[in-house]
Chains A and B, each alone.
Chain A
Amino acid sequence: MGYNVTINRQGLSALFDLKGKKGAMSDHAGGILPVFPDQHNTYTQSAGSTLFHIGRNHWILRGDISAEDTLISTLKPDQAPSDVSIVQVSDTLTFFSVVGADAAQVMSIACPLDLHSSVFGADAVTYTEVFGLKALVLRQEGGFEFAVEQSFGDLIQDYLDRAIA
């Protein structure tokens, strides 16, 4: 019967889409952000915030939803210089966690990317596909977490229920 996993559809996170050159971003928000990851498709964490480096001159900052207002007031999206783009995107993604002994097997149904620990390490995060949709996939304690465009959340829940049936 099914797989040994626990799947959770999570509540909102505070999310900010950050675009621009690293220097400019650092000048504007360096004090608020975790240390910039030095590798592509990895993340860093500090004080409850996570910084995903997921594209050329592109990061996503994730924090607890309770910190959203604080982050807005410190990141100051409205006051960022012209070469720094900070956009609140908390509602755009829905996160699912897939944790447990069979997490990798369930992920292999959903995702064509190689998520083996030898190539997708403890601090790995990347945009790839989950059930044919663009998704942000990352490794977490005991399994994986992934996020899809929020409006596809019900579809993904439907898929996951079928996968572990």
Chain B
Amino acid sequence: MTQNNRLTSGGRINRNRTVNFRFNGKPYKGFEGDTLASALIANGVSVTARSFKYHRPRGIVGQGVEEPASLVELEGSDASGNCPITTVKIHEGLGAKSVNCWPSPEFDLGGINQLFTKFLPAGFYYKTFKWPNWHMFEPSIRRAAGLAGAPAMPPAEGHFEARHAHAEVLIAGAGPAGLMAALIAGRSGKRVFLADEGTEAGGSLLSRNLTIDGLPAMRWVADTVAELTAMENVTHIQNATVWAYREHNLMIVNERQPNGKSVLERSWRVRADQVICATGAIERAMVFTNNDRPGSMMASAVQSYVNRYAALPGKKAVIFTNNNSAYAVAADMAAAGISIEAIVDSRKNVPSDVTGLVTGMKVLKGHVVTAAKGHKRVKSVVVSSISGNGSQTIKCDLIAQSGGWNPAVHLFSQSRGTLKFDEDIASFVPDVPAQPTLSVGAANGEMTLAQALSSGAEAGAQVSGGASTETPKTNDAPYAIEPLWRVEAKGPKGKAFLDIQNDVSVDDVHLALREGYTNVEHVKRYTTGGMGIDQGKTGNINIIGTVALQKGVDLQDVGTTTFRSPYTPVSFGAIGGLREESVLFPYRHTPITEWNHANGAFMYEAGARWRRPGYFPRKGESFQETVNREASTVREKVGVYDGSPLGTFELKGRDVGKFLDFIYTNVMSNLKPGNGRYGLMLSEDGLILDDGVTFRLDENRWMVSTSTGHADAMNMHMEELLQTEFPDWEVMITTVTSQWNNATICGPKARDVMEALGTDIDLSPENFKFMSLRDGTVGGIPARVVRVSFTGELSFEVNVAPRHMRELWQKVMEAGAQFGIEAIGSEANHVLRVEKGFLSLGHEVDGTADAYDLNMGWVMSKKKPDYLGKRSVALRRSSGKTRRELVGLLPEDPNRAIPEGAPLTPGGRKEATEGLTTACVWSVVQNRWVGLALLENGHARHGEIAHVRLKDGTIPAKITAPVFHDPAGELLRS
């Protein structure tokens, strides 16, 4: 006994394909083409949800994205939360369950809230759960609210995709207006992007029995779609919601289940010259007591179920309207066999062109429904005259209500276009656009099919630079409405809902106004009306109407709240696209990456996205043992590391020397070719930007190296100065970071390794001095060898083209084997530089210390009248305030490590800090922990005891000079 409420013929469903699905654990059958909502209606399921706050039983209210009452959570491989029941296509094996109820919507324990509704007024949560803070209560309230959980597992198959697209015309909505606009623009050759949220094109025509040029309107739709499909300049996608309208006509579209199984959802970021909003209109509810009972539906939804899905939502219906559109619905319902008990129209005068559609039916003019009766299903309605006289009860199991139509202005409003209240249709329509956008059809308040077609054609012609063509003849009735914001006639007591999704009633809005929340934006936040996934689709205009009535002002003066994206819910996966797992963040490799992996390196990111080896653990070694071994190797024998990531630039031009003198604190212009110098770069406000070594290659060619992490920022900095401050200076910069890789060989045996490698460069200390550079061959490979040192030991940085890097590395390992060479990672490098007191950006160079604080006053040129940052450093120092200065720390207990970043306080007391520990390592030369710190007045305090303050005590440490190895620097010059 299934699908008892299915008509025997008609509808856009495939009766040859039965689909099995489960809802709240029970098995059902539907047909291909059904939504979950239409299939459940065909099966006679009435209660499909419980409400958000009061857990009232709710049924299906709408037929599309506007559905306010029934949200479901999909199960299994479809796992997804908070889907309107009307937008879920059924397929074999689909499983879905209601949100907001436990154990089921039929029997919901949370329904007990209904008994306490007077204690759950608007603002209840704000008022009640504010001490000590909301977050303490949030988890349990969220659980009670029962919104769907996030899927626990990634989809078993397929992936999300995000694409970019470009169009001369983007059209949102493939209803009659959108299709017509697309057709005209497409024929003119424009690049058109047409996206529609439905599974099929046609919009309202899918649900209405109308004709165009005497033929069924869907014939016109099919012909139009076929013509568009044949146009190469038109991209037409269905099942694709335009959910965001961003600045400069960037539209974001979410396409569900695009063709091709491997893509689950596709996000399109479409940049359009022109946008046409053909998003239609959404029917609004009537506001009467118990207007939320299952069986109380939007008239247009009833029409859709009857015509499009051949499913009957009820047997005996009352229609309640204040406008013309419900009369065609009544005619279609009657034709499908639903008994129309009465048409209740709040208007005293109903135009004859619509009463003609319902000949023989009972029309109660100037009447209103004051209340629905029944709990889990409507059983009857109470009707009276609009002034409250002559109350009568009419039995029915279905209420088809129409409070008028709201143009779907969401996208237009997101684009910052303003809205105005249109008295003719009693709703808000687009007024002044803020971006190149046109609104057509019902989205522009043009409510008839004829108007939709002609406004679509005009817009299509306008964006194509042509004139409007003749539009087809149609047969729908004219539209007219007399607004009814709420039923005022007295009837049975109960709640009359404005926003069904958020359980906001007329009383809640009145309460908000009484408590002083009179601005419509405040009403929204106090009551939560129009928030969440509803985003003002069904309830907003009635809330504004209610506020206007209560304040005695026009709706225009109340205004609307801001519509926000997304228009409908969007998966995070679709927004992220391919960006997950290994490509979630970018990464860079050097040619040695494979070797590092093969040799057991522990790899991590170390600046500018480079993945580098942290250390090379051997079997049975602890972390500290590995680092100690690597550091000792460099101090006692020889080590090698891959220094390729260092930022490197080649500078060319007559004015490079002058330029470098301006951006560095010291003088570079007097360097001789082949020689280099360490330099410090400041920003104009005197803070240290970067440090590095600069070499002069010849008269007009220079090589500048920067720290790894700051390479891009230095490039930006230098280009900005050259292009905006010194456009006449002859300086040209080329980034060569990836043209050079290097193996840096360091340690007392470094020269032996170089000799074993074989080189045509004279390596003797007198002919190849520290801070100089030679071009030649090393191990038969063309190389540029640089004598710099980041470890304090004798070092040769052997630079080669990346194509030769693996070969070089292999040769270094072979040649170095007899000297005990080992590869070292970043951790050992850190130890070696701390032992030498070399600076590290982000540690000692922390955005407050200047060169003097760091014992580098020598780098601040006195001779140069001006360079970047000079004035600011002088200005700051002229205040005479004590500075935090770089010192060394020796913990009194040599085996006690200081956590990096730990604060120093006077005497270790609970006082304002006087500094912080910037680094602390186990020194392999001192055989103890040593640290560096920035300490107030530190230079004058050598020999004193400083105190590191921790949660569980203090660490006393002796203050020393910040160098623990070879203070004279003899080794690195050797």
Contacts and interface: CB of A to CB of B under 8 A. Distances in A.
Interface string A72-109: 00000010101111011111110000000000010011
B735 interface: yes
A75 to B, nearest CB: 13
A12 to B, nearest CB: 6
A19 B652 CA distance: 9
Nearest to B699: A82
A90 B801 contact: yes
A45 to B, nearest CB: 23
Nearest to B735: A92
Given A108-B164, A109-B163, A154 B652 contact: no
Contacts of A105: 163
Nearest to B269: A112
A149 B736 CA distance: 10
A76 to B, nearest CB: 13
Contact of B586 (A88, A109, A111, A155): A155
B654 interface: yes
A114 interface: yes
B732 interface: yes
Contact of A151 (B161, B162, B582, B588): B588
A26 interface: no
A31 interface: no
A1 B261 contact: yes
B577 A90 contact: no
Contacts of A93: 738
A165 B588 contact: no
A158 B653 CA distance: 40
A40 B861 CA distance: 43
B159 interface: yes
B806 interface: no
B589 A92 contact: no
B802 to A, nearest CB: 4
Interface string B687-700: 00000000000111
A58 B879 CA distance: 47
Contacts of A158: 582-583
Contact of B653 (A85, A91, A165): A85
B271 interface: yes
A41 B269 CA distance: 24
A52 to B, nearest CB: 14
A158 B261 CA distance: 21
Interface string B270-291: 0100000000000000000000
Nearest to B586: A155
Contacts of B738: 91-93, 149-151
A116 B583 contact: no
Nearest to A115: B166
Contacts of A133: 586
Nearest to A80: B652
A91 B165 contact: no
A133 B739 CA distance: 18
A162 B739 contact: no
A32 interface: no
A71 B652 CA distance: 19
B200 to A, nearest CB: 24
B926 interface: no
Contacts of B610: 151
B626 interface: no
B507 interface: no
B650 interface: yes
B587 interface: yes
A88 to B, nearest CB: 7
A13 to B, nearest CB: 12
Contacts of B700: 82
A37 interface: no
Contacts of B578: 109, 159, 162-163
B308 interface: no
Nearest to A109: B163
Given A91-B802, A92-B735, A155-B586, A165 B654 contact: no
Nearest to A163: B578
A82 B164 contact: no
Interface residues of B, number: 46
B571 interface: no
A20 B583 CA distance: 37
B973 to A, nearest CB: 30
Contacts of B732: 19-20, 85
Contacts of A91: 738-739, 801-803
A151 B587 CA distance: 8
B734 interface: yes
A20 B238 CA distance: 51
Contacts of B271: 114
Contacts of B163: 105, 108-109
Contacts of B577: 109
A48 interface: no
Name which of B644, B645, B739, B802 has the most chain A CB atoms within 10 A of its CB. Answer: B739
A109 B583 contact: no
B262 interface: yes
Nearest to A151: B588
Contact of A89 (B698, B730, B734): B734
Interface string A7-40: 0000010000101100000000000000000000
A82 B653 contact: yes
B301 to A, nearest CB: 37
Interface in B574-618: 577-578, 582-583, 586-590, 593, 609-610
Interface in A125-155: 131-133, 149-155
Given A83-B730, A109-B577, A163-B161, A155 B587 contact: yes
B191 interface: yes
B719 to A, nearest CB: 11
A84 B700 CA distance: 10
Contacts of B159: 162, 165
B736 A82 contact: no
A85 B165 contact: no
B588 A152 contact: yes
Contacts of B191: 116, 118
Nearest to A19: B732
A108 B165 contact: yes
Contacts of A149: 588, 737-738
B654 A87 contact: no
Nearest to A113: B164
Interface in B241-284: 260-262, 269, 271
Contacts of B645: 151
B195 to A, nearest CB: 15
B739 A82 contact: no
B736 A89 contact: yes
Name which of B583, B589, B653 has the most chain A CB atoms within 10 A of its CB. Answer: B583
Interface string B701-736: 100000000000000000000000000001010111
Contacts of A165: 159, 262
A103 B637 CA distance: 54
A87 B650 contact: yes
B722 to A, nearest CB: 11
B222 to A, nearest CB: 27
Nearest to A17: B734
A113 B650 CA distance: 30
Contacts of B652: 19, 80, 82, 84-85, 87
Nearest to B158: A165
20 contacts: A82-B699, A85-B732, A87-B652, A90-B801, A91-B802, A93-B738, A105-B163, A111-B164, A114-B271, A116-B191, A118-B191, A132-B586, A133-B586, A150-B738, A150-B802, A151-B590, A152-B588, A155-B588, A162-B159, A163-B578
Shortest beta-carbon contacts, A-B, top 8: A85-B652, A151-B588, A114-B166, A85-B732, A19-B732, A92-B738, A87-B734, A82-B700
Given A85-B650, A159-B578, 19 more contacts: A83-B653, A83-B730, A85-B653, A87-B652, A87-B736, A90-B801, A91-B739, A92-B736, A93-B738, A108-B165, A112-B164, A112-B269, A113-B164, A114-B271, A149-B737, A151-B589, A155-B588, A162-B583, A163-B578
